Amino acid sequence: MTAQEAIAWSEAVAAVPEGRRWRRLRVLLRDRAAVAGAVLLLLFVLASIFAPLLTPYGPNTTDFTNTLSGPGVHHWLGTDDLGRDELTRILYGGRVSIGMAVVAATLSAAIGLTLGLISGYFGGVFDLVLMRVVDGLQALPGLLLAFAVAGLLGAGLLNIEIAVIAVWWTGYARVVRSMVLSLRERAFVEAARGTGATNRMIIIRHILPNVVGPATVLATLELAHVLLALAALSFLGLGVAPPTAEWGTMLSQAKDFFDRAPQLLIYPGLAITLVALASNLMGDGLRDALDPRLQRDVTVRCVAAR
């Protein structure tokens, strides 16, 4: 999303009276694809939280008499090279995989939001330096930079989180900064300053509420990207250390048995795909519900139909 789009959104959302906001929520709820995405995501989250209730096995319970077996009655999705139940590992793996993606997306948004607010509101040297850093980080494709950062820091859960956050905050910072640049010139900020409000009060009470909405939408849209980036890092062997069940690491391990047991690669791959698809569907619906250009889309359709 470009800065202009973000500004358009924030203004459209801010301009909508309370009643119409509910209508937008209803638009979102009517979008069957978005609702399906939300339900699917919720199912995955609940299944991984309640994993101990759903499966009789532990994620690291090995059974060397029954390795690399296909789907069956006792092991619905079969077992891996150490005889661990694949379904159990996928359920438990969701905790780490989805959890890591949510943490990375939230922290990137929080860091980008804070730095963007300060940079946009105060300007000056801080703004100049921050924007050069953002330029530098955005010179490279995000995933490529995340590979490099994780490669320099070494493998591990914390390091790939740092790598992804280090790359992803820049987008939020840039968008929020340009929104603040236009917000701080608006009449209500001027009025607040006139009543003697301090800079801190103006930022927290008057500017932040106008920026939080679009930043949340951005974070939802980015959840799928972050999940896929973390999976790619894990796949290259940079992720969580082996005994822990995590989808990307499971995939990375499964590639060694690909010719004998391709299903070990297919299941975690499908899990990642489904969760990414669920967040994409949700994000797409959210964008449609909030996008002021949707109305224009309808007029375009009328013209094009003639």
Nearer to another protein, 146 or 183 (CB): 146
For residue 299, state whether it binds another protein (rule: CB under 8 A): yes
* CB-based contact 80:69 (threshold 8 Å): no
DSSP letters for 186-202:
SHHHHHHHHTT--HHHI
Instruction: State the distance between the two ends of the chain, measured CA to CA, in whole angstroms.
Output: 31
- Round to whole Å and give the CA distance between 101 and 1: 20
Classify 74 as helix, strand or coil: coil
- The yes or no reply on residue 282 touching another protein (CB under 8 A) is no
Q: What are phi and psi of 79, to 5 degrees?
A: -125, 160
Binder among 58, 83, 269, 292 for another protein (CB under 8 A)? 269
Among the listed residues 251, 261, 286, 290, the single contact to another protein using CB under 8 A: 251
Q: Among residues 127 and 207, whose Cβ is nearest to another protein?
A: 127
Nearer to another protein (CB atom), residue 210 or residue 220: 220
Site residue total, another protein (CB under 8 A)? 51
> Which residue stretch of 8-16, 60-68, 145-153, 204-212 sits at the interface with another protein (rule: CB under 8 A)?
145-153
Among 64, 152, 185, 194, binds another protein (CB under 8 A): 152
Spatial contact of 8 and 292, defined as CB atoms under 8 Å apart: yes
d(CA 67, CA 80): 6
Per CB under 8 A, 231 contacts another protein: yes
Q: Which is closer to another protein, CB of 113 or CB of 261?
A: 261
Tell me which residues in 43-102 interact with another protein (CB under 8 A): none
Residue 246, amino acid: E
Least distance to another protein from the beta carbon of 27, Å?
17
Rg (CA), the chain: 23
Q: Which stretch binds another protein (CB under 8 A): 16-24, 82-90, 115-123, 277-285?
A: 277-285
Cα angle for residues 160, 227, 30 (degrees, 5° grid): 155
Closest approach, Cβ 19 to another protein, in A, equals 28
Closest CA to 213 of 1, 11, 18: 11
DSSP line for 33-55: HHHHHHHHHHHHHHHHHTHHHH-
3-state secondary structure (DSSP) of residue 79? strand
Least Å distance between CB 26 and another protein?
21
Query: Which parts of this chain interact with another protein (CB under 8 A)?
Result: 33, 132-133, 135-136, 139-145, 147-154, 224, 228, 231-232, 235-238, 251, 255, 258-259, 262, 265-266, 269, 272-274, 276-277, 280-281, 284, 297, 299-301, 303-304, 306
